[in-house]
């Protein structure tokens, strides 16, 4: 869960503002168009993992990815949390290999995954 939470949170929520929340600047990005485009999705994942080039948005995603994982997206807006759930569910169902890669790299113990799943009833 945290991987998807973080992935979406940071894709759409890139900069922490003065209230210690992620910016809502990217809240209106069409998540479905990213999820349904293998090239875009793979590019974002490669960016976050450090194995590919990053766009400006990808750099921001990468910068805040670990924080979002560690906090179960606590700095995310309601809309961002909904987007994160959507991404997680998509990855779990359609791209389990990619989700596994993210887990292995960012939460090898599975501790945060369990914590975030419980927090968001997943």
CATH of the domain at 46: 1.10.2080.10
**Placement of tokens 């979406």 in the chain:** 8
Which residues pair with residue 22 across a beta bridge?
Answer: 16
Q: Is the pLDDT of residue 104 over 50?
A: yes
> Which of the pair, 119 or 10, is modelled with greater confidence?
119
Q: Is the pLDDT of residue 1 over 70?
A: no
Residue range 109-116: mean pLDDT, rounded:
92
Quote the domain boundaries for residue 87. Answer: 2-119
> Which of the pair, 50 or 120, is modelled with greater confidence?
50
What is the spatial distance between Cα 79 and Cα 84, in angstroms, rounded to a whole number? 9
Three-state DSSP class for residue 51: coil
pLDDT digits (tens, 9 = 90+) for 53-62: 998 888 877 8
User: How many folded domains does the chain comprise?
Assistant: 1
Q: Is the pLDDT of residue 8 over 80?
A: no
Is the whole model's pTM more than 0.85, yes or no?
no
Tokens linked to 46: 């490669």
pLDDT recorded at residue 83: 84
Residue range 73-94: mean pLDDT, rounded:
90
pLDDT recorded at residue 15: 44
pLDDT recorded at residue 20: 84
């Amino acid at each position: 869960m945290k991987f998807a939470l973080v992935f979406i949170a940071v894709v759409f929520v890139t900069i922490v503002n003065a209230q210690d929340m992620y910016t809502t600047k990217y809240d209106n990005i069409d998540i479905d168009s990213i999820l349904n485009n293998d090239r875009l999705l793979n590019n974002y994942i490669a960016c976050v993992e450090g194995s590919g080039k990053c766009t400006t948005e990808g750099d921001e995603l990468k910068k805040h990815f670990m924080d979002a994982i560690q906090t179960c997206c606590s700095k995310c807006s309601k809309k961002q949390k909904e987007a994160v759930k959507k991404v997680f569910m998509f990855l779990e169902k359609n791209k389990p290999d990619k989700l596994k890669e993210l887990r292995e790299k960012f939460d090898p113990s599975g501790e945060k995954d369990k914590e975030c799943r419980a927090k968001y009833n997943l």
